[in-house]
Structure 1
Amino acid sequence: MINTKIRDDKLQTLVSRSAVPIIDLAHCGKSLVNRVGQQLHKAFTEKGIAFLVNHGISEEKIKNVWDQFDNFLDLPAEVQDRYRRKDGGNSGYVSPRVERFDKKTTELRHAFNICQLDDRNIPKEPLPDFADDITTLANDLKAMSTYILKAMEAALEIPAAYFVDKHSQMLTGDDVNMSTLRMLYYPAIVDDEPGQSEGAIRCGAHVDYGTFTLLAQDSEGGLEVQLPGSEKWERVGHLPGAILINGGELLSIWTRKRYHALPHRVVIPEQDHVRTRGRHSIAFFCHPNNSTMIAPNDLSEDAEQTDDKVYSAYELIQQKFNDTYGGRSK
């Protein structure tokens, strides 16, 4: 145990090295959208990642959602099965060992995807407060995403509402927009259960699919990234109260890779006193409307470059889902 504590004390993170940009959203009205846009532009082009602070979403709202997901996981299996994600859709519960980003490594996590704020997709009957807590947080994250889209419009010097209009159907259903609020719980790893974590990971290495991701996580750790130009995995660390933002692959394609889609993963912590605790996080994946055509020329100053293939957002994201779920449609 003494050695474990020593390793923990010496564990360097990007936070401890002040290697992640911090963007302050305090009083982020229209007058500050240009400043936020420039800071996001610098973060996405240089690091692919940033922390958003003073964003106005309380820790209580986030913790309420973590608690509600814990309550869901305490329900009988037959009740959970009513809300299980079905092939052909993205909404619903996903149990451990189903998703495999590299198609082979076992991934140990529970997830619940919310793509539409309605009674059909949210377990309201067994958990009366679930819908209200989820809806409140989802609307806050959607509003934050809209502000970020406006800031990126300013930074990229593209017409006002270009991004906002193309993301206008967030959380109205994955048949029109694949944006998703995802609750995540990574179970504790108990070493006296043989084979529980052998050859496994909490979340395999991948880049996110869409425009960007907002991530709220607890202090348990395990998130690692590869910064641009490096193949080294580095632990991010925890900044209390901050929401992490990282660019997605679709945004990288849209900007001809000026904005980085950052590879990341969640490993099982090596410290015994951390790995034996569960880990919570909430991710909001901001995606364009499915019909949006991803045309890099629209964001390029060089109008003569027309050799980029144009895809719909749905085509690009669907292929990624198929890879994650072993060829099955998501």
Structure 2
Amino acid sequence: MINSKIREDKLETLVSRSAVPIIDLAHCGKSLVHRVGQQLHKAFTEKGIAFLVNHGIAEDKIKAVWDQFDNFLDLPAEIQDRHRRKDGVNYGYVSPGMERFDGSTPELRHAYNVCKLDEQNIPREALPELAEDITTLCTDLKAMSLFIMKAMEVALEIPPSFFVDKHSQMLEGDDLNMSTLRMLYYPAIVDDEPGQSEGAIRCGAHVDYGTFTLLAQDSEGGLEVQLPGSEKWERVGHLPGAILINGGELLSIWTKQRYHALPHRVVIPEQELIRTRGRHSIAYFCHPNNSILISPNDLLGEGEAKSEDKVYSAYELIQKKFNDTYGQRSQ
């Protein structure tokens, strides 16, 4: 056990190598949006990810939602089934194995998607406190997302409110906007249970679909990325209290691939002390309104636009991704 602990202490990650940009949101003033915008621009063009620190979202708020999801997973199966994600919608409970990002590999993960703060999306009757805790956290993550969009508008030198206006219906329902708060729990892997993790993964390789993702996690749990220009999978590591941001596919299309949509996955860690404990995370997937047309021409200067670039709505683009992931249409 001592030797195992020493090996885990020496686990090399992007965090241990200081290879992930860190953006401090603490300082107030008129220059904050400009500074953060420039730092995000550099991070998205060079790495595709960054850590946000001093972001103002209390750890207690995040932990409260993790605790509530644990309570949901302790409910009887028949109650969980009432809230299971159904074909045609994006909200609800997703049990291990329902999602397969590579189309075949079983994924050991519990998830619960919230697209709107209403009775349909949240199991209020079974867990009355869950709705309050999620609403509080969603309010903070939505506000952070709007600030990030304003910072990107400055960095990209595009009209004010370009992004903000196109994301005006976040968390008003997946029929209007696919933005989603996702609670995640990766169960502990117990080696004395034969076949528990054989041929499985915690989350298959993929890029996120939307504009960007905000991720809070409680520990190192196997998150890996492929940095731009590399096919090597590298462990990210854990920076306590930080929120990880990564760009999504729609943002990459909008910026004509100047901003990277980073491939990532969550593997079953080889380190015993990591694999034998459960891992919580919360992801906030920021999406444009479904009706918004996504065109790289929007952010190009005069003379740069190309008429042959095909234009899709945000809804059309994400539906293809859901079809790939679930083997059926989401809506």
TM-score, length-scaled by structure 1: 0.98
Shift of 1:121: 1.3
Question: Which residue of 2 is the match for residue 151 of structure 1?
Answer: 151
Task: Note the C-alpha offset of 1:284.
Answer: 0.1
Secondary structure of residue in 1 paired with 2:320? helix
Distance in 1 of aligned mates of 2:28 and 2:113: 29
1:294: how far off?
0.4
Name the SS of the counterpart of 2:128 in structure 1.
coil
Partner of 1:96: 96
Distance of aligned partners of 1:177 and 1:30 in 2 relative to their CA distance in 1, 3 Å threshold: farther
Change (3 A) 1:205 1:304: closer
Correspondences of 1:62-211 after superposition (within 5 Å): 62-211=62-211
The residue that corresponds to 1:323 in the other structure is 324
The unaligned stretches of length 5 or more in structure 1 are none
1:152 to 1:326, Cα distance in 2 relative to 1, 3 A: same
Structure 2 counterpart of 1:204, one-letter code: G
Letter of the structure 2 residue corresponding to residue 205 of structure 1:
A
Residue 149 (structure 1) shift: 0.4
Moved over 3 A (4+): 27-31
Equivalent residues in 2 for 1:256-275, closer than 5 Å: 256-275=256-275
Quick one: distance in 1 between partners of 2:269 and 2:106?
16
Shift of 1:273: 1.6
* Contact 2:319-2:329 at 8 Å conserved across structures: no
Match of 2:308 in 1: 307
Contact 2:221-2:275 at 8 Å conserved across structures: no
Give the whole-Å Cα distance in 2 for the aligned partners of 1:325 and 1:264: 18
Q: Distance in 2 between matches of 1:243 and 1:112?
A: 19
Counterpart residue type for residue 315 of structure 2:
Y
Counterpart position of 1:59: 59
Could you say which residue in structure 2 is the equivalent of 1:241? 241
Deviation (angstroms), 1:30: 4.3
Residues 4-23 of structure 1 aligned to structure 2 (within 5 Å): 4-23=4-23
Q: In structure 2, what is the Cα distance between the partners aligned to 1:209 and 1:56?
A: 26
Q: What is the DSSP-based 3-state SS (H/G/I as helix, E as strand, rest coil) of the residue aligned with 2:51?
A: strand
**Cα shift at 1:5:** 2.5
Question: Partner residue of 2:252?
Answer: 252
CA shift for structure 1 position 27: 3.4
Displacement of 1:219 in angstroms is 1.4
The whole-number CA distance in structure 2 between the counterparts of 1:5 and 1:307 is: 56
1:3 CA displacement: 4.2
Question: How many residues in Structure 1 have an aligned counterpart in Structure 2?
Answer: 330
Which amino acid letter does the alignment assign opposite residue 122 of structure 2?
I
Once the two structures are superposed, residues 189-223 of structure 1 have per-residue CA deviations (whole angstroms, 9 ceiling, x without a partner) of 11111111000000000000000000000113210
Residues 29/125 of structure 1: CA separation in 2 closer, same or farther (3 Å cut): farther
Two-structure CA RMSD over aligned residues (Å)? 1.1
Q: By how many angstroms is 1:29 displaced?
A: 4.9
Distance in 2 between residues matched to 1:285 and 1:268, nearest whole Å? 23
Q: CA deviation at 1:150?
A: 0.4
Aligned partner of residue 316 in structure 1, secondary structure: helix
Q: How far, CA to CA, are the matches of 1:18 and 1:220 in structure 2?
A: 15
- Which ranges of structure 2 fall in alignment gaps of 5 or more residues? none
Aligned to 1:277: 277
Deviations along 1:15-64, whole A, 9 cap, x unmatched? Answer: 01000000011134543111110000000000000000010001000000
What SS is found at the alignment partner of 2:253?
helix
1:298 is aligned to 298
Asked if the contact 1:220/1:277 (under 8 Å) is kept, the reply is no
